[in-house]
């Protein structure tokens, strides 16, 4: 009896461990990369929060907060689609190493300017524009390299979910610490932490093994614009990716821009300070953690479309209720809901897209189009909602964004039957569904 019980216990233990540890994280190569990456995001998010707070303290203007957010990411709309073509040609290790070193330089410059008392809105806009240019290369490169760190293509969903979870964990910690640092030591301390946070990722980039791209049809440089066109045509004609990108644009423009309005909401509506802002952002990031845990617990991509539609609708409802609230405790609850569903929607869109994208030669271009939603569409959302908050008030701006998110969710839900029909053969090819399955 005792050996039998011990054997049963060992089997149950293995099952438990398999459930807790996603298949992608069993790879030391991938784990090394994504942990270093999440640490760099810790500093990046802290700097983003500090910059928004600093601009509002310097100007007391919601419009200029929107302008600063716009310049930080506007370059993404111009160059990110072109970056995708280049990433399909360039050495991704060298691209990532360069972006991290430049990011360290820019964050160090912000630290020096703030400590010396020479920081102003003009400097923030200049450095923000440079940071946006770096991110236009950095963010898509991080996404494109992930499948090349894996031994099995079927682990792509697990890798993307783990990637989102660890990044959201960094988002959870950074607002809380960032708000406390700003309140006690000023924004320069956040910029200094950001400068240091890139170093573990630099180490990871130098040590990981990147698998070569198989069947990579290297095209002459003269055809770069043709390659760019091919990427857009592929994303437009492959309807699941097309509808995913449409919803992503709506969420980024109408929903994700709430991050830039939170400092204004904390000060004008809740009559709080930097710590209040930190609590709100921490509640949002905690929601992101919960969404990450859910996604990482899923075994594969099947059924993700319905989750995307539902989470986008709940995000809209959360923004509407949050915009009408004046009590800090209630606001914290709905910031949790907003953060959870904002991350769940965007991470699910990315995981879905990366999992059904079987043509590796187009992954860089399609990923760059997706990243344009963050680096290109988001700044226009920041600019628009900054102006809207300046004219109609921050609460009405949040209300309008929530309504638009609900409309976007409704549009996407109407496309789900067509999406399921198209991706079914892909699931069969990936071994996620048996040949005989008709559903």
Query: Is the model's pLDDT at 6 over the cut of 70?
Result: no
Among candidate residues 188, 165, 142, 167, the one with its CA nearest the CA of residue 47: 188
Q: What pLDDT is recorded for position 316?
A: 94
What band does 15 get if pLDDT is binned at 50, 70 and 90?
A: very low
Q: What pLDDT is recorded for position 439?
A: 34
Comparing 111 with 381, which gets the higher pLDDT?
111
**Euclidean distance between CA atoms 240 and 150, whole angstroms:** 24
The pLDDT tens digits for 325-373 are 888 889 999 999 998 999 899 888 988 888 887 776 777 778 777 777 6
State mean pLDDT over 156-164.
Answer: 77
Q: What are phi and psi of 48, to 5 degrees?
A: -60, -45
Among candidate residues 378, 430, 347, 307, the one with its CA nearest the CA of residue 143: 347
The pLDDT tens digits for 236-293 are 888 898 999 999 999 988 888 787 788 888 888 888 877 788 788 878 878 888 888 8
Query: Is the model's pLDDT at 47 over the cut of 60?
Result: yes
Distance of CA 223 to the CA centre of its chain: 31
Query: Is the model's pLDDT at 1 over the cut of 50?
Result: no
State mean pLDDT over 28-41.
Answer: 84
Q: What pLDDT is recorded for position 350?
A: 84
Residues in the chain, total: 439
**Euclidean distance between CA atoms 71 and 135, whole angstroms:** 12
pTM value is 0.69
Query: Is the model's pLDDT at 427 over the cut of 90?
Result: no
Query: Is the model's pLDDT at 321 over the cut of 90?
Result: yes
Query: Is the model's pLDDT at 81 over the cut of 90?
Result: no
Q: What pLDDT is recorded for position 174?
A: 75
**Euclidean distance between CA atoms 98 and 89, whole angstroms:** 16
* CATH architecture of the domain formed by 25-208+223-429: Up-down Bundle (1.20)
State mean pLDDT over 57-75.
Answer: 73
**Euclidean distance between CA atoms 332 and 377, whole angstroms:** 27
What band does 374 get if pLDDT is binned at 50, 70 and 90?
A: low
Average pLDDT over the chain, rounded to whole?
80
Q: What pLDDT is recorded for position 259?
A: 77
Which letter, b or e, does each residue of 26-55 get, where b requires 16 or more Cβ atoms within 10 Å of its Cβ? ebebbbbbbebbbbbbbbbbbbbbbbbbbb
**Euclidean distance between CA atoms 49 and 187, whole angstroms:** 9
State mean pLDDT over 26-49.
Answer: 82
Tally Cβ neighbours within 10 Å of residue 19. Answer: 10
């Amino acid at each position: 009896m005792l050996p039998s019980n011990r054997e049963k216990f060992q089997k149950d233990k293995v099952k438990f461990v398999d459930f807790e540890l996603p298949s992608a994280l069993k790879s030391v190569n991938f784990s090394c990369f994504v942990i270093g990456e999440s640490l760099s995001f810790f500093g990046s998010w802290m700097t983003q929060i500090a910059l928004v707070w600093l601009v509002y303290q310097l100007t007391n203007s919601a419009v200029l907060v929107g302008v600063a957010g716009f310049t930080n990411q506007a370059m993404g709309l111009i160059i990110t689609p072109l970056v995708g073509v280049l990433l399909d040609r360039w050495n991704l290790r060298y691209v990532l190493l360069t972006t991290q070193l430049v990011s360290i330089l820019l964050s160090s410059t912000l630290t020096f300017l703030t400590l010396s008392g020479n920081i102003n809105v003009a400097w923030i806009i200049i450095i923000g524009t440079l940071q946006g240019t770096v991110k236009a290369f950095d963010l898509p490169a991080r996404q494109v390299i992930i499948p090349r760190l894996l031994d099995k293509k079927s682990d792509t969903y697990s890798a993307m979910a783990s990637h989102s979870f660890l990044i959201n964990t960094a988002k959870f910690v950074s607002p809380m610490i960032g708000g406390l640092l700003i309140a006690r030591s000023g924004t320069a301390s956040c910029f200094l932490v950001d400068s240091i946070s890139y170093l573990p990722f630099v180490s990871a980039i130098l040590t990981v093994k990147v698998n070569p791209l198989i069947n990579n049809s290297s095209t002459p440089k003269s055809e770069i614009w043709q390659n760019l066109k091919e990427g857009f045509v592929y994303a437009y004609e492959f309807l699941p990716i097309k509808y995913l990108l449409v919803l992503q644009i709506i969420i980024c423009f109408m929903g994700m821009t709430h991050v830039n309005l939170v400092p204004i909401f904390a000060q004008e509506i809740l009559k709080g300070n930097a710590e209040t802002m930190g609590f709100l952002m921490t509640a949002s990031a905690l929601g992101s953690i919960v969404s990450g845990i859910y996604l990482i617990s899923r075994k594969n991509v099947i059924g993700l479309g319905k989750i995307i539609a539902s989470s986008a609708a709940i995000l809209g409802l959360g923004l509407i209720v949050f915009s009408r609230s004046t009590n800090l405790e209630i606001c914290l609850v709905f910031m949790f809901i907003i953060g959870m569903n904002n991350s769940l929607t965007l991470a699910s869109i990315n995981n879905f897209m990366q999992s059904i994208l079987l043509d590796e030669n187009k992954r860089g271009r399609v990923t760059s189009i997706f990243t344009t939603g963050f680096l290109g569409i988001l700044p226009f959302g920041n600019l628009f909602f900054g102006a809207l908050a300046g004219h109609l008030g921050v609460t009405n701006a949040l209300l309008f964004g929530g309504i638009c998110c609900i409309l976007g969710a409704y549009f996407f839900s109407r496309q789900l039957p067509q999406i399921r029909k198209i991706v079914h053969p892909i699931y069969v090819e990936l071994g996620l569904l048996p040949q005989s399955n008709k559903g």
